[in-house]
């Protein structure tokens, strides 16, 4: 007879994700001792049955769906329950049961019917959550917003060893020596997710709304490009590392089984709709990109202008442009791990660009802008992260001419934790604001809060003044409105 699950197995909380009109995916992971060095969270190496309930009310008086899933040791006792048969555009509540143990409850919702005329869509974007650089105060405030969706844009964890040199989160003991090394094995990646996910504010943000995800680099290794490692790891060895990193990514997030990694590959890019209001294309900027020209992250190499270069890869580009051709949505939203706007990083004579961003692939960017024109995409908006700064930019038809047409809008959320407390401005501000299409640069930690209607997108850059200690209040650094049919940024605050 199989033993009962250990007591208190829901130490990593609950989450939901990828809402469809008839359901969503529910996640939890059994881990009574989540920081056990072997990465198994204190669980015996046997499978357990986990039951779930979905209700229309927070008190679970009106349960509309019950089911069960297996938490298997092969997937670190994670649960990915795909729920169907629900009503579109509705709020729901959920919880899990393992033996006699009951999880905390979470709130989620289904997407609207794809034919529905949706009045508004409230969502937030977030990225770059280095646990060791500070408290997740931004998540604490995000959890209090009544959101339809959270769009996470990459760097959910960081691979670096955690030591006294980078442990800026005050009031928390330095993790043990097993955390002091860079993650390279499945056990180490699992443990890193466990550490980050013990944070109560992250758990609260997951329990408050469904999430969707793309990756950036730190889920695997800084600045990686396909099978290229900046530390010179041989491609075959690096792909093995990528395989275990993607496996841990799947195990610890509310992803559908279609995203279960197949070796070193994982299904990240996907398309979702929010009624007739919005089409959301979630892009994968890492797995298929071409390598850095001559291995250089920042330069102005002629190689970056090669028309064959792609940040998305040929198959993903075809998928994206075909989806745009067929789009009938009022707004077309793109989730990108890295910044799309051209940013000349030289303040004086000459030019230099970050090949880690879309600037390393200008021909790919030109092809995307051409697809917008070709298919009459009137309201493209790009959401990105990566740079640990809040930036608002207009996407231009001709970067050399500030008076040229604005073809789209880009909104870059700051980091949740990476780079510590931050400030209103910093030494990189002249670089970014020296590009006239950049309308905001803010170096505080925070997230982007958005309200989308058929008429306009209102975007608010939420910030906190400190994260080294908890409890900082929330501020709004800037508010912009982008009107339907008029790409660009109108600053209101």
pLDDT in tens, 183-202: 999 999 999 999 999 999 99
Q: What pLDDT, on a 0 to 100 scale, did the predictor assign at position 348?
A: 84
* Residue 137 main-chain phi, psi, to 5 deg: -65, -35
* pLDDT higher than 80, residue 3: no
Residue 2 has pLDDT above 90, yes or no: no
Domain-by-domain residue ranges, the chain?
Answer: 1-111, 115-491
For a pLDDT cut of 70, what percent of the chain falls above it?
100
- pLDDT of res. 378: 86
d(Cα 272, Cα 275) in Å, to the nearest integer? 9
Instruction: Categorize the per-residue pLDDT at 294 as very low, low, confident or very high, splitting at 50, 70 and 90.
Output: confident
Cβ 439 vs Cβ 487: under 8 Å:
no
The top-level CATH class assigned to 1-111 is mainly beta
Query: Residues for the chain: how many in total?
Result: 493
What is the residue-averaged pLDDT of the chain?
97
327 pLDDT more than 80? yes
pTM: 0.98
- List the structure tokens of 483: 């009107």
* Confidence class for position 4, pLDDT limits 50, 70, 90: confident
> Residue 493: its pLDDT value, please?
83
Residue 301: predicted pLDDT: 87
Calpha distance 398→358 (Å, rounded): 15
- Average pLDDT on 158-177 reads 97
The CATH topology of domain 115-491 is Purple Acid Phosphatase; chain A, domain 2 (3.60.21)
> What does the pLDDT look like over 28-54, one tens digit per residue?
999 999 999 999 999 999 999 999 999
Radius of gyration (C-alpha) of the chain in whole angstroms: 22
pLDDT, tens digit, 9 for 90 and up, residues 368-386? 999 999 999 989 999 999 9
- At 1 the pLDDT is 58
Rounded Cα gap, residues 88 and 264, in angstroms: 35
* Interval 428-469: pLDDT, tens: 999 999 999 999 999 999 999 999 999 999 999 999 999 999
The token pair that represents 21 in the structure block? 């009109």
Cα(385)–Cα(339) distance, integer angstroms = 7
Which H or E run includes 119? none
Residue 153 CA: distances (Å) to CA of 16, 44, 136, 385, 492:
16, 34, 16, 6, 25
CATH topology identical between 1-111 and 115-491: no
Distance, C-alpha 18 to centroid of its chain: 12
By CB atoms closer than 10 A (0-12, 13-18, 19+), residue 36 is middle
Q: Which residues contact 143 (CB under 8 A, 6 or more apart)?
A: 201, 204, 205, 207, 208
In SS3 terms, 114-139 reads as CCCCCCCEEEEEECCCCHHHCCCHHH
Within its chain, how far is the Cα of 70 from the centroid? 27
Distance of alpha carbon 279 from alpha carbon 76, whole angstroms: 34
Strands 380-384 and 331-335: parallel
Q: Which residues are CB-contacts of 325 (< 8 A; sequence separation ≥ 6)? A: 371, 374, 375
Which residues, 6 or more positions from 11, have their beta carbon under 8 angstroms from its beta carbon?
31, 32, 33, 34, 41, 198
DSSP-assigned letters across all residues of 38-58: TSSTT--SS-EEEEEEEESST
Torsion (CA) 199, 203, 205, 209 in degrees, nearest 10: 170
DSSP 308-355: T--SS-HHHHHHHHHHHHH---SEEEEE-SS--S-----SSSS--EET
């Amino acid at each position: 007879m199989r033993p009962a699950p250990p007591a208190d197995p829901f130490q990593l909380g609950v989450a939901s994700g990828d809402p469809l009109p008839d359901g969503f995916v529910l996640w939890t992971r059994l881990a009574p001792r989540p920081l056990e060095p072997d990465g198994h969270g204190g669980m015996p190496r046997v499978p357990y049955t986990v039951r779930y309930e979905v209700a229309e009310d927070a008190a679970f008086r009106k349960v509309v769906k019950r089911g069960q899933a297996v938490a298997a040791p092969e997937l670190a006792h994670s649960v990915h329950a795909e729920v169907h048969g629900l009503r579109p555009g509705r709020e729901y509540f959920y919880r899990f049961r393992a033996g006699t143990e009951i999880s905390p409850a979470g709130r989620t919702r289904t997407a609207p019917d794809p034919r529905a005329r949706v009045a508004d869509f409230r969502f937030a974007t977030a990225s770059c959550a280095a646990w060791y650089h500070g408290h997740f105060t931004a998540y604490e405030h995000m959890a209090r917003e009544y959101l339809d969706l959270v769009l996470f844009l990459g760097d959910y964890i960081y691979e670096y060893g955690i030591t006294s040199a980078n442990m800026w989160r005050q009031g928390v003991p330095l993790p043990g020596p097993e955390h002091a090394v860079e993650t390279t094995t499945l056990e180490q990646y699992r443990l890193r997710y466990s550490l980050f996910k013990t944070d109560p504010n992250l758990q609260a943000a997951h329990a408050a709304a469904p999430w969707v995800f793309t990756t950036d680099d730190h889920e695997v290794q800084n600045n990686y490009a396909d099978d290229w490692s900046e530390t010179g790891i041989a491609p075959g060895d690096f792909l093995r590392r990528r395989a275990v990193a993607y496996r841990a990514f799947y195990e610890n997030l509310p992803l559908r089984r279609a995203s279960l990694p197949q070796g070193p590959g994982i299904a990240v890019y996907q398309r979702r709709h929010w009624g007739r209001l919005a089409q959301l294309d979630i892009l994968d900027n890492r797995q298929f990109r071409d390598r850095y020209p001559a291995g250089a992250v920042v330069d102005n190499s002629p190689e970056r202008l090669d028309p064959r270069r792609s940040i998305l890869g040929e198959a993903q580009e075809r998928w994206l442009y075909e989806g745009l051709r067929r789009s009938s949505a009022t707004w077309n939203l793109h989730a990108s791990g890295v910044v799309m706007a051209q940013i000349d990083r030289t303040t004086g004579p000459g030019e230099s660009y970050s090949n880690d961003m879309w600037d390393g692939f200008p021909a790919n960017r030109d092809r995307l802008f051409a697809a917008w024109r070709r298919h009459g995409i009137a309201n493209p908006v790009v959401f990105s992260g990566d740079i640990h700064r809040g930036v608002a930019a207009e996407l231009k038809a001709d970067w050399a001419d500030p008076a040229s047409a604005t073809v789209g809008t880009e909104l870059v959320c700051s980091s949740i934790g990476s780079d510590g407390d931050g400030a209103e401005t910093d030494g990189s501000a002249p670089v970014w604001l020296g590009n006239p299409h950049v309308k905001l640069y803010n170096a505080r930690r925070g997230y982007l809060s958005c309200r989308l209607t058929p008429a306009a997108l209102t975007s608010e850059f939420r910030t906190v003044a400190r994260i080294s200690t908890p409890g900082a209040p929330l501020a709004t650094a800037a508010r912009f409105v982008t009107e339907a049919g008029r790409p660009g940024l109108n600053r209101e605050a």
